[in-house]
Amino acid sequence: FFSSAPRIPKDAIFALTAQYKSDTSPVKVNLGQGAYRDNAALPWILPSVAEARERISNHKLDHEYLPILGLPEFRQAACKLAIGPTKFGSVASRIASCQSLSGTGGLHLAGSLIKACSSLKPQVWIPEPTWSNHHLVFSSLGFECRSFQYYDFERKRIDMNAYKKMLQNAEPHSIVILHACAHNPTGCDPTKDQWQEIGRIMKERQLFPLLDAAYLGFNSGSIDDDAYAIRYFINDLGMEASVSMSFAKNMGLYGERVGCTFVVTQNAEIAENTESVMERLQRSEVSNPPAYGAKIASMILNDAKLTEMWYADLITMCSRIREMRHALYNLLVENGAPGDWTHVTSQSGMFSFLGLPRDIVIKLKEQYHIYMAENSRISLAGLNTSNVAYVAKAISECIRA
Ligand code: LMR
């Protein structure tokens, strides 16, 4: 079977993490993978998560299977979080939901579900640039993936003209991948007015919103603010939509693979049917999802005190990231780094899309032990008060050299 297996290059972002780990330099800095680090460059276990873990282990934690669709109280709480408590009651019966293997598993499930439920062969429109896995997830399912220009590289902002042109010309029933907030890699999100424009055209042209919600809470520290786009499409426009939520980043549960994918359908009967398809798909792929992380997330979302703690944890992460944004900007300016750096502070979320040419990105890695994605996206969470000056100086030196 395997003698003609091709050799596929390693995933760029995971390969970068491995390179960073094997670098023995004491000054090395990891700005690659989007994973939160505290000011000591260490993974951070959220106090709300620590408290939930404690409560779970005091409750005779067992290792039984979850139902195929996942932990019901987790799914319900996750959907409610996304839709918002006031509107949830009026939408709940039209929702089909399933616990997923974090964001990636959720997007894959959403794609499989559309394929299983519909004979249409929709194209999938993906912003350029985007998260490195989007094309792989949807093309591996056999979708025809098309890119549209999302970012104006020159002006360092969303290219709304190109965006709207795509929406006006896409075939009806095409799927459009939307980053619900904190666009990865650009850190540039549509404003509320722009979301409304995007939503109106999509509704008029019968395009399907498939929302990737991997960073809820990372823009503003508030889920309510960051869920604006999700709620606009579902609650205000009343559209069919799919949302893939991940709790990797906003609860720091990266390796636990905690996600929930849900679709909002036209009525309760369709929702029940759709959920039965999700259950069948899940059975054939993962049988039943991992339990531990879902129990932690569920406990946080279903306990008022823990939810409050979690909201405070989101503020802690967001505030530190924002401080690093401003520190980086100020230090780049102080060091006289050539160019305009205002985009660093106008972008939001976990990343800054610096706009450096590839040779500088390579030089920063090879000469300064500073690791970032090839497209010069940096995870601001990799910066801290001990290394931000070094990074700003290195960038300035490299550009000037
Ligand atoms: C990233 O974009 O760095 C993260 O989402 C990690 C990943 O899975 O690519």
Is 225 noted as a catalytic residue in this protein? no
> In whole angstroms, what is the distance from residue 302 CA to residue 285 CA?
28
Is 310 noted as a catalytic residue in this protein? no
> In whole angstroms, what is the distance from residue 77 CA to residue 87 CA?
13
User: What token pair was written down for 321?
Assistant: 């990231």
Domains of the chain as residue ranges with CATH: 12-46+307-400 (3.90.1150.10), 65-302 (3.40.640.10)
Complete DSSP assignment for 261-286: EEEE-SSHHHHHHHHHHHHHHHHHHT
Q: How far is the CA of 14 from the centre of ligand 1 (A)?
A: 8
Q: Which of 10, 13, 380 to mutate to test the pocket of ligand 1 (most atoms within 8 A of CB)?
A: 13
Helix 72-83 / helix 292-301 crossing angle, nearest 10 deg: 50
Cα of 95 vs its chain's centroid, Å: 21
Q: Tell me the CA distances in angstroms from 141 to 68, 98, 274, 296, 329, one per residue in order.
A: 21, 19, 18, 31, 41
Nearest CA to ligand 1 atom 4: 34
Task: Give residues with Cβ within 8 angstroms of 272, minimum separation 6.
Answer: 96
Q: How far is the CA of 138 from the centre of ligand 1 (A)?
A: 16
Is 249 noted as a catalytic residue in this protein? yes
Half-sphere exposure of 341 (CA within 13 A, CB side): 22
Nearest CA to ligand 1 atom 5: 34
Ligand 1 nearest atom to the CA of residue 249, by list position: 5
159, 212, 226, 313: the active-site residue? 212
Q: Please check whether residue 162 is in contact with residue 128, taking contact to mean a CB–CB distance below 8 angstroms.
A: no
Task: Give residues with Cβ within 8 angstroms of 98, minimum separation 6.
Answer: 69, 70, 75, 109, 260, 261, 262, 275, 278, 279, 282
Q: Which of 102, 359, 219 is nearest to 229 (CA)?
A: 219
Please confirm whether the linkage preceding 129 is cis (ω < 30° from 0).
yes
> In whole angstroms, what is the distance from residue 297 CA to residue 62 CA?
16
Q: Which residues line ligand 1 (CB under 6 A)?
A: 13, 33-34, 131-133, 184
pLDDT score recorded for residue 10: 95
Q: How far is the CA of 272 from the centre of ligand 1 (A)?
A: 33
Half-sphere exposure of 140 (CA within 13 A, CB side): 11
> In whole angstroms, what is the distance from residue 45 CA to residue 310 CA?
11
User: What token pair was written down for 242?
Assistant: 């799919």
Q: How far is the CA of 220 from the centre of ligand 1 (A)?
A: 20
Q: How far is the CA of 192 from the centre of ligand 1 (A)?
A: 26
Ligand 1 nearest atom to the CA of residue 131, by list position: 2
pLDDT score recorded for residue 60: 83
What ipTM score was computed for the predicted complex, to two decimals? Answer: 0.91
80, 249, 295, 365: the active-site residue? 249
Q: Please check whether residue 321 is in contact with residue 380, taking contact to mean a CB–CB distance below 8 angstroms.
A: yes
Nearest CA to ligand 1 atom 9: 13
Q: Which of 10, 11, 130, 133 to mutate to test the pocket of ligand 1 (most atoms within 8 A of CB)?
A: 133
Q: How far is the CA of 226 from the centre of ligand 1 (A)?
A: 19
Ligand 1 nearest atom to the CA of residue 185, by list position: 2
Q: Which of 101, 132, 137, 375 to mutate to test the pocket of ligand 1 (most atoms within 8 A of CB)?
A: 132
Please classify residue 89 by burial: count the beta carbons closer than 10 Å to its beta carbon, then call 0-12 exposed, 13-18 middle and 19+ buried: exposed
pLDDT score recorded for residue 59: 85
Q: Please check whether residue 294 is in contact with residue 137, taking contact to mean a CB–CB distance below 8 angstroms.
A: no
Complete DSSP assignment for 171-189: PTT-EEEEE-SS-TTT---
In a structure prediction context, what are the per-residue pLDDT tens digits for the chain, which is 401 residues long?
999 999 999 999 999 999 999 999 999 999 999 999 999 999 999 999 999 999 999 888 999 999 999 999 999 999 999 999 999 999 999 999 999 999 999 999 999 999 999 999 999 999 999 999 999 999 999 999 999 999 999 999 999 999 999 999 999 999 999 999 999 999 999 999 999 999 999 999 999 999 999 999 999 999 999 999 999 999 999 999 999 999 999 999 999 999 999 999 999 999 999 999 999 999 999 999 999 999 999 999 999 999 999 999 999 999 999 999 999 999 999 999 999 999 999 999 999 999 999 999 999 999 999 999 999 999 999 999 999 999 999 999 999 98
> In whole angstroms, what is the distance from residue 308 CA to residue 275 CA?
31
